[in-house]
Copies of this chain bind each other. A is one copy, B any other.
Amino acid sequence: METLRERKKRRTRESLLRAALELFTSQGYERTTVDEIAAACEVSQRTFFRYFAGKEDAAFAVQEMTEAHFLAALRARPPHEAPMEALRQAALQDWDSIRETVESAVPMELYLRMYRTIESTPALLAAHLRRSTAVEESLARLLAEREGVDVDTDPRPRLAVAVFGGVIRVTERQWCLGRDFSLEAVRSLTVSYLDQVSSALQGNWRAN
């Protein structure tokens, strides 16, 4: 059972996270100070730093959950699937079931707004890309294990994941730039872009 102390702690964290994302998305990440976030929750600035390693950490708290969610999705793919197919299916399945994961922390709508804020804030975009490479390292190891190859001598796991990651990044970016900012939109964009990779890689585009 959850003790009173734990409950209070959880509430404080949730309150801080929510206030942070609300402020980041409404007035911008840089224009939001940690003091402001703490004040909104009626705690001291010091307390904020006891719950989050930094301002940036708060911005990515939900992302961290979805990253783990995607890794689990890949782990759950049947072992007979080819690497790229497994990645593709994991991504699609991920978008289909992400809502529950996200809403255990904040409203889905806030998460989506934060996604856009990350993409349009240079400092956050940089952090996002670095986090992505960390996830990609895990993905590569997972694929290598699935296929029974050594990730340190065979570059194919990392290459496959890097290519996949590149396509996902393009997808994310176009999604955030577009008008239709729904889950269905990102899902279909993912399918469309993954399907066009081989066409993009080979030959002359003019010849179609």
B155 and A174 contacting across the interface, CB-CB below 8 Å: yes
Q: Tell me the number of copies of this protein.
A: 2
A84 and B202 contacting across the interface, CB-CB below 8 Å: yes
B residues in contact with A126, CB < 8 Å:
126-127, 129-130
B159 and A193 contacting across the interface, CB-CB below 8 Å: yes
Q: Is the C-beta of A166 less than 8 angstroms from some C-beta in chain B? A: yes
Q: Is the C-beta of A141 less than 8 angstroms from some C-beta in chain B? A: no
CB-contacts of A170-189 with B (<8 A): 170, 174
A197 and B159 contacting across the interface, CB-CB below 8 Å: yes
Q: Is the C-beta of A162 less than 8 angstroms from some C-beta in chain B? A: yes
Q: Is the C-beta of A112 less than 8 angstroms from some C-beta in chain B? A: no
Nearest CB of chain B from residue A111's CB, rounded to whole Å = 21
B155 and A193 contacting across the interface, CB-CB below 8 Å: yes
Chain A 181-208 interface mask (CB, 8 Å, partner B; 1/0): 0000000000011001111111111100
Nearest CB of chain B from residue A171's CB, rounded to whole Å = 9
B residues in contact with A201, CB < 8 Å:
84, 160, 163, 197-198
B residues in contact with A125, CB < 8 Å:
130, 133
| Whole-angstrom CA separation of A173 from B81 in the bound complex | 28
Q: Is the C-beta of A28 less than 8 angstroms from some C-beta in chain B? A: no
A126-B130, A155-B170 known; A204-B162 Cβ under 8 A: no
A147-B205, A148-B206, A205-B147 known; A162-B156 Cβ under 8 A: no
Q: Is the C-beta of A158 less than 8 angstroms from some C-beta in chain B? A: yes
What 19 new A-B contacts, CB under 8 Å, besides A126-B127, A129-B129, A147-B205? A122-B130, A125-B133, A126-B129, A126-B130, A129-B130, A147-B206, A149-B205, A154-B205, A155-B170, A155-B174, A155-B192, A155-B193, A156-B199, A157-B205, A158-B174, A163-B200, A163-B201, A166-B166, A197-B201
Chain A contacts to B: CB under 8 angstroms: 82-84, 122, 125-127, 129-130, 133, 147-149, 154-160, 162-163, 165-167, 169-170, 174, 192-193, 196-206
